[in-house]
Chain A
Amino acid sequence: MGEPLLRVENLCVEFRTRRGIVRAVDGVSFEIQHRESFGLVGETGCGKTVTGLSILRLISRPGRIAGGHIWLEGEDLGSKSEEEMQSIRGGRIAMIFQDPASSLNPVFTVGSQIVRVIRRHQPVSRAEAQARALEVLEAVGLPDAPRVLGCYPHELSGGMQQRVMIAMALSCRPSLLIADEPTTALDVTIEAQILALLRDLQQRYGIALLLITHDLGIIAETCSRLAVLYAGRVAEIGPTEAIFSAPRHPYTQGLMAAIPRPGSRGRRLAAIPGTVPANPGSIPGCAFASRCGQPRERCWSDRPSLTEVAPGHLVACYVATTEGRP
């Protein structure tokens, strides 16, 4: 493997609150290869959205990136000036968000918003940008694209709005697309369409995808590799198949058990007891220890680091990595 498209190393993000400094992301590392689709999964508040925004360096006060590095094709994003970052945002990395209705500016037409993004990143005339906008709107499967171009966001349905967002993301041919819960606000039927569209576009244009979600089912359908985030730390990372067939971290196992499956009718879905600690950064040991079924002595005092249990499959858990040993 050569230089990965994106390398996140030991990322830490802190927020200043009234109660002191809270670490929302606490030493997260992962890599995404060119054209790969990578999933980031975890429950609300585990730091997945913050991780996504950090890649674009869009953490604003009272938050800040407190440590770590992010490399895009070998370039350290931390050393870029604000102007350089602006040309990366939307140009080389694009991002789509959870709620398309609020993510589009309500008082500008869809067309003018896409055209502005295109002209921000490419030296083209207004007419060329317009043509390009039309092209991407067609590419995301919007019927009657010329009409949509002149529409205001509120005149479109949720699914259409999200397609518009995807079109805007595609408009400058980025090499990485970050999709933050792209279907959570949509109906189930629309969800399937949007996911199919994302997979299709990823294949067609060769874009790498970072899919952020709380839904393991979506990851299973879409991503080839994934990382499970818990309380701002990576609990487990590896190929989707490996993790789904043999989850090693007790948290991942809990998440799997909570997915309804065919054939499991009549059985109760398992829930993980307890809640996520409020400020996991202050915990010396494993953040999951208080909810873990079989914590060891050292789980309370030492922080487990990611350890390889199978090729490309890493787990941060003493229980999982010392299993079967005395």
Chain B
Amino acid sequence: MSTRESARSPEELQTQRRWRHAAHVITRDPLALFSVLVITGFLVLAIAGPWIAPYPEQGFGKTNVATRMLPPSREHPLGTDRLGRDILSRIIIGARPALSTSLIVVGLAVAIGSLLGAVAGYVGGWVDDLIMRITDLFLAFPSLLLAMAIVAAIGPGLTNAMLAIAISWWPWYTRLVRGIALSLRERHFVEAARAVGVPSLGIIFRHILPNCLSPILVQATIDIGTVILASGGLAFIGLGAQPPAPDWGLMVSEGRAFLLTQWWYSTFPGLAIFVTVLAFNLLGDTLRDIFDPRQYR
């Protein structure tokens, strides 16, 4: 209500208020703070891992017979594995593939899913029916089961596993975006754009998709965690990343045979998955809190 504020446009005010609100939420909620810190750490490791890891070449797979199966110590804080590699270094080096895998998968799923959803919701009619029937069909499968069947058909490996997960993932975004598109279609700015003759594709890209951005972002954040979990699972079974890749799920799987004697082997890579996924889930929740228009009054 002060003159200083009223000099700005409503959009600017909105953005400014949103940032202030975001800062407020994150600093006040310890869980949100935790998630931001963990994810920042995860990103730093993914980018600068080779310079941070104590034994980067072991992280990438170089073996060392002299240091096999050592328990956690000063030299190897998280112990070493059966080929003498430093587990901490393996985990640090593994951050990059974990991040890139999940970014690619979620990116693919978002691209396919939200475009189909926007088309279905905006165009409607038989197009909507067709797209949604297919979507329902995919949703009728437990997605990881579908991913496994696809991997079985096209063969194991990290790339195929990624592709399989992406294929089983997009329908969630279709459903999400379609719901929003349906409600936007009746709104004034979309009607106005249609009335002045903006082509459908233009409306979808300029008006529908931008308005779906925040729910997509929330879902994508949570899904990055879920994909790390899923690809870890596939690797654990033996369908995902193959040795000697520094994949967290694969490391848990390798350590399983030594669970009762070398407890650190499986425990720490699994812990890395858990903490990272937890952080992404918490961040997704925090983002939802920040974006939720009901919080604004």
Contacts and interface: CB of A to CB of B under 8 A. Distances in A.
Direct contact between A and B judged by beta carbons closer than 8 A: yes
B297 interface: yes
Nearest to A18: B297
A17 interface: yes
Contacts of A278: 1
A227 B295 CA distance: 33
A18 B297 CA distance: 8
A226 B295 CA distance: 36
Contacts of B295: 18
A108 B1 CA distance: 47
Contacts of A17: 297
A175 B295 CA distance: 39
Interface residues of A, number: 4
Nearest to A15: B297
- The prevalent SS among residues of A at the interface is loop
A18 B24 CA distance: 11
Interface string B113-131: 0000000000000000000
B46 to A, nearest CB: 36
Interface string A1-35: 00000000000000001110000000000000000
B24 to A, nearest CB: 9
Interface in B260-297: 295, 297
Interface in A277-309: 278
Nearest to B17: A18
A30 B296 CA distance: 34
A17 B295 CA distance: 10
A22 to B, nearest CB: 9
A17 B297 CA distance: 8
Interface in B1-52: 1, 21
A42 B297 CA distance: 22
Contacts of B1: 278
Contacts of A18: 21, 295, 297
B173 to A, nearest CB: 31
A18 B21 CA distance: 10
Interface string A174-215: 000000000000000000000000000000000000000000
A278 B297 CA distance: 11
Contacts of A19: 297
A278 B1 CA distance: 10
Contacts of B297: 17-19
Nearest to A17: B297
A19 B297 CA distance: 9
Interface string B227-264: 00000000000000000000000000000000000000
A72 B297 CA distance: 35
Nearest to A277: B1
B160 to A, nearest CB: 48
B22 to A, nearest CB: 13
A240 to B, nearest CB: 35
Contacts of B21: 18
Interface of B: 1, 21, 295, 297
6 contacts: A17-B297, A18-B21, A18-B295, A18-B297, A19-B297, A278-B1
